[in-house]
Structure 1
């Protein structure tokens, strides 16, 4: 009996192996196409992880990682004693929270409105116009903002011509924060709608037809059909954005910030640039980056756990 079981197990294993080899041979070109993205991930995502060691060293660019002195957690202690680091962390959290509150619902609302548009030509033109800002670099956008909202810009020149006081859009805290968030929403709102519009295509059309036969208005169909239909997508994107709460891009705060609002525009990415590139302290820059990654991972896992506990779909 044991011999029969062993032979049957060996046969199943051999059959499975042959099937695997058959699939590889059949789809050889498809697997070959995966080599380039795999190589990209290995070279630019996993290989640099080795450099995290610099966060625990007194890194010397001439000695390299292998020759630099090991100092343990001294770099982290030094960072956590700096007021400028806590200011950068506070500003990062503030700007990300404001982006979450103002920027996260905006693409959802825009996608729902575009989904309800019946004129196909008008819908395509509108989508194209809304997507265009995403392809502009922040250097260009920063120049546009300066030309329009500086003290000598178009908006303040127009206000002065009407006898009104100028608004310090780029030199005072509250106007600068409003400008920063508004420009960010404008730049990202069109691109963000792509995901939600794609999710809406998977909603069963018969649900809309049944709702229309029952006399539902467009608002009710949006609330009871469209929103529930994209709820899983909303949950996943919200969890991912929460996981990025301590991370922030470099271009936007660096370009839109200036010396008059540096107390509010100095974020972790500009802090890393200042201490890592300008000052040449690569150990500090690496330590801050590692701190961001660890805290981001904790927030991501916590957000996913809470979503699961509330009965919603998570990432895993």
Structure 2
């Protein structure tokens, strides 16, 4: 049973790491990895001295923080709410509804947001005008870019994220709830003193894993939302790598940027895991 998983990680996760040597070369496709000359840390020096570096780091980090602060707690809250539903038919219907957005592609999601928020004839600006309010150009305003991105992530993935937490809740011993009820605890108290402590280890592990992809804000979603007016706050490492590698053909430089992102993620994982172990919590290793 382990073989398919092992093969998957070997083929798609470990073998491609051989390509990281490109970050230390002046890679030429017609020469290949073995024939390209070595460049040392030249591409990293170029990246860190680039005036765009601090802007890219700020934009990427802020979006990542927005996702952790505003998105990460929502699946937990939603799972707790779903767990309190007693009518099984209604519970399954709600679960199905909140799961569906996960299967919608980012192209469709962004298209829906354009329909709702475009300044020309979008539903939301039209309602604002009808209410006597001034229109806001949500899609092109730099002030609204991060809010729009985070809102899309919440709408699309919050429901799907409840699956793991609901599974963890289902493993709670019912006798704990019965004992709490006998002691006079209501629904909220049982949730606070029984359910949440049972979820603690799951929450910590998922948070550590999420920190591993801290710098991965998602290329497709942000690329589709970018335009000339919000690029100053919307350009992140993922879109920058796409520009450098695909549009400019600078494969070594873009690989160096990607390696930098991976190193930051690895550092955060080790640091978070150390803090969890220090506080006598279960880590990932």
State the TM bucket, normalised to the shorter chain. Answer: over 0.9
TM-score (norm 1): 0.87
What is the CA distance between 1:173 and its match in structure 2? Answer: 2.3
What is the CA distance between 1:39 and its match in structure 2? Answer: 2.7
CA distance, structure 2, for counterparts of residue 38 and residue 240 of structure 1? 19
Q: Which secondary structure state, in structure 2, belongs to the residue aligned with residue 80 of structure 1?
A: helix
**What whole-Å deviation, never above 9, does each CA across 1:45-67 have from its counterpart, x for those lacking one?**
22211111110111111111111
Aligned residue pairs, count: 284
Q: Does 1:272 pair with 2:237? A: no
CA distance, structure 1, for counterparts of residue 65 and residue 92 of structure 2? 32
CA distance, structure 2, for counterparts of residue 235 and residue 224 of structure 1? 17
Q: After TM superposition, which residue ranges in structure 1, 4 or more long, deviate above 6 angstroms?
A: none
Query: Which residue, 164, 178, 190 being the options, matches 1:221?
Result: 190
Q: Does 1:148 pair with 2:140? A: no
Larger Rg: 1
TM-score (norm 2): 0.96
Name 1:61's counterpart in structure 2: 29
**What whole-Å deviation, never above 9, does each CA across 1:147-206 have from its counterpart, x for those lacking one?**
101102111012112222112211222222212111211111000000000000110001
Name 1:166's counterpart in structure 2: 135
> How do 1:164-313 and structure 2 match up within 5 A?
164-313=133-282
Worse-superposed segment, 293-302 or 37-46: 37-46
User: Are the counterparts in 2 of residues 85 and 271 from structure 1 also a CA contact under 8 Å?
Assistant: no
User: Are the counterparts in 1 of residues 23 and 255 from structure 2 also a CA contact under 8 Å?
Assistant: yes
CA distance, structure 1, for counterparts of residue 283 and residue 226 of structure 2? 36
CA RMSD, 1 decimal: 1.2
User: Are the counterparts in 1 of residues 142 and 229 from structure 2 also a CA contact under 8 Å?
Assistant: no
Structure holding more helix per residue: 1
CA distance, structure 2, for counterparts of residue 118 and residue 164 of structure 1? 42
CA distance, structure 1, for counterparts of residue 105 and residue 119 of structure 2? 23
CA distance, structure 2, for counterparts of residue 150 and residue 83 of structure 1? 32
Name 1:92's counterpart in structure 2: 60
CA distance, structure 2, for counterparts of residue 129 and residue 174 of structure 1? 31
Query: Which residue, 70, 81, 85 being the options, matches 2:38?
Result: 70
Structure 1, unmatched stretches of 5+, are: 1-29
Q: Does 1:38 pair with 2:17? A: no
